[in-house]
Amino acid sequence: MTILFICSGNIHRSALAEEMLRDEARRDGRTDLRALSAGVIAVDGMEAAGEAAAMARQGGLDVSTHRSRPVTADLLAQSDMILMMERFHHEWVSINHPAALSRCRQLSVYAGEVSRTEGVLPGDDIPDAMGGDLKSFERSFGIIRDCVRRLYRDLPPAPQEVYARAIETRFRSRRHAPMTLSPADFALVESWWDRGIPLWIVLESIDHLFTKKEAAGMPARVHRLSYVKTEVEERFETYARTRSAGEAGAALPGASAEPEGGALLSQASRQLREAAGNARLRGQDEAAGIFDYAATQLDADPRGALLATPAARLRLHDMEEDLLRLFRSLAGEAALRELQGQAAIQLREHRERMTANAFEATVVRLVAERLKELYGMPPITQI
Say how far apart CA 332 and CA 47 lie, in whole Å: 41
Specify the pLDDT at position 255: 35
Say if residues 170 and 29 touch (Cβ distance below 8 Å). Answer: yes
Say if residues 144 and 17 touch (Cβ distance below 8 Å). Answer: yes
Specify the pLDDT at position 383: 67
Specify the pLDDT at position 99: 81
Specify the pLDDT at position 277: 92
Say if residues 16 and 144 touch (Cβ distance below 8 Å). Answer: yes
Q: Which has the closest alpha carbon to 181: 108, 196, 189?
A: 189
- Distance of alpha carbon 339 from its chain centroid, rounded? 34
Say how far apart CA 109 and CA 107 lie, in whole Å: 5
Q: Which has the closest alpha carbon to 288: 376, 372, 367?
A: 376
Specify the pLDDT at position 259: 55
CA distance to 164, 188, 236, 298, per residue, from 370 (Å): 55, 59, 49, 25
Residue 96 Ramachandran class (φ > 0 left, ψ -120 to 50 alpha, else beta): alpha
Torsion angle, CA of 130/135/136/142, rounded to 10 degrees?
120
Q: For the chain, which ranges sit under pLDDT 50?
A: 247-258
Specify the pLDDT at position 357: 64
Say how far apart CA 301 and CA 6 lie, in whole Å: 21
Q: Mind listing the pLDDT tens digit for each residue in 210-237?
A: 888 777 777 667 778 888 899 998 888 8
Say if residues 363 and 344 touch (Cβ distance below 8 Å). Answer: yes
Q: Are strands 104-106 and 81-84 parallel, antiparallel or unpaired?
A: parallel
Say if residues 33 and 19 touch (Cβ distance below 8 Å). Answer: no
Q: Which has the closest alpha carbon to 379: 270, 255, 261?
A: 270
Specify the pLDDT at position 28: 92
pTM of the predicted structure, to 2 decimals? 0.63
SS3 state of residue 143:
helix
Specify the pLDDT at position 304: 66
Say how far apart CA 179 and CA 227 lie, in whole Å: 15
Say how far apart CA 376 and CA 272 lie, in whole Å: 10
